[in-house]
Chains A and B, each alone.
Chain A
């Protein structure tokens, strides 16, 4: 549980970068009619096998090395947030198939953190590796907004 959901998104997307993804798709679905907020981060990185997935889901997390203590709490914290707010949490992943993390929560749940500064999170992800195509799909009941860092870049170049 981070203070803002945008920090969770940043955290999960950093895992995608660490998994050498060249494309990260972030979806935020705000469905007021059905009272759901659904976050999804999907990448085309190296993916995880069953054992790694088990570690991630059972707190014996990280594939990152050279840390004094295993961190790998990011996924566990997002899972806690979504379950605490009446939602569900799923990860789909397989080696070579990328990873998809989905966290839902009740939009109106009193403990649901605010979405926070999503712009800064997206900017940080783009800046962390400008070669990666970072996409954002933001949908509400009435509107939608789509962003792709590669569309911003001059033709043949990556986003500055």
Chain B
């Protein structure tokens, strides 16, 4: 599935990266060590964290897309780092729970 199929239902804004980014699953979590331990490559990662470590973790785990929930935004330096690392970043006003529900409904498993 590509990001552009998901942006609508998430009411998401693309902060950096391409709408053609592919995702093949989803992971939700705010504890970075847990994400490091458990997330699979090429998933969309739902989190409320906006620290720059998010980009480092995503890049290390080959996570293709990060979805920041509750309308939070990354600062410009962190966005630049995401761009450099090839990580697509979206921001949605939805909560993590609502976002996960919407993504489940689209068939992303």
**Most chain A CB neighbours (cut-off 10 Å) among B31, B33, B34:** B33
Query: In the bound complex, do residue A3 and residue B33 qualify as a contact, i.e. CB atoms below 8 Å apart?
Result: yes
A76-B53, A80-B53 given; A69·B32 CB < 8 A: no
Query: In the bound complex, do residue A59 and residue B51 qualify as a contact, i.e. CB atoms below 8 Å apart?
Result: no
The A139-156 residues at the B interface (CB cut-off 8 A) are none
The B36-82 residues at the A interface (CB cut-off 8 A) are 36, 51-53, 56-57, 60, 81
How many residues of B are counted as interface, with CB atoms below 8 angstroms from the partner's CB atoms? Answer: 12
Q: Is A128 an interface residue (CB 8 A)?
A: no
The A68-82 residues at the B interface (CB cut-off 8 A) are 69-71, 73, 76-77, 80
CA–CA, A76 and B32, complex, Å:
11
Q: How far is the CB of A103 from chain B (nearest CB, A)?
A: 14
Query: In the bound complex, do residue B33 and residue A59 qualify as a contact, i.e. CB atoms below 8 Å apart?
Result: no
What chain A residues lie within 8 Å of B32 (beta carbons)?
A: 1, 73, 77, 80
CA–CA, A1 and B47, complex, Å:
14
How many residues of A are counted as interface, with CB atoms below 8 angstroms from the partner's CB atoms? Answer: 13
Q: How far is the CB of B40 from chain A (nearest CB, A)?
A: 15
Q: How far is the CB of B60 from chain A (nearest CB, A)?
A: 5
Q: Per a CB cutoff under 8 Å, which of A3, A69, A71, A77 touches B53? A: A77
Query: In the bound complex, do residue B52 and residue A77 qualify as a contact, i.e. CB atoms below 8 Å apart?
Result: no
Query: In the bound complex, do residue A69 and residue B33 qualify as a contact, i.e. CB atoms below 8 Å apart?
Result: no
The B72-97 residues at the A interface (CB cut-off 8 A) are 81
- Residue ID in chain A nearest B36 by CB atoms: A73
Query: In the bound complex, do residue B31 and residue A69 qualify as a contact, i.e. CB atoms below 8 Å apart?
Result: no
What chain B residues lie within 8 Å of A2 (beta carbons)?
A: 33
Q: Is A7 an interface residue (CB 8 A)?
A: yes
Q: Per a CB cutoff under 8 Å, which of B31, B34, B56 touches A59? A: B56
Supplied contacts A1-B33, A1-B53, A73-B32, 11 more A-B pairs, CB within 8 Å: A1-B32, A3-B33, A3-B34, A59-B53, A59-B81, A69-B60, A71-B60, A73-B36, A73-B60, A77-B33, A84-B51
Give chain B's interface residues, CB within 8 Å of chain A: 31-34, 36, 51-53, 56-57, 60, 81
19 cross-chain CB contacts under 8 A: A1-B31, A1-B33, A3-B31, A3-B33, A3-B34, A7-B33, A59-B53, A70-B60, A71-B60, A73-B32, A73-B53, A73-B56, A73-B60, A76-B52, A76-B53, A76-B56, A77-B33, A80-B51, A84-B51
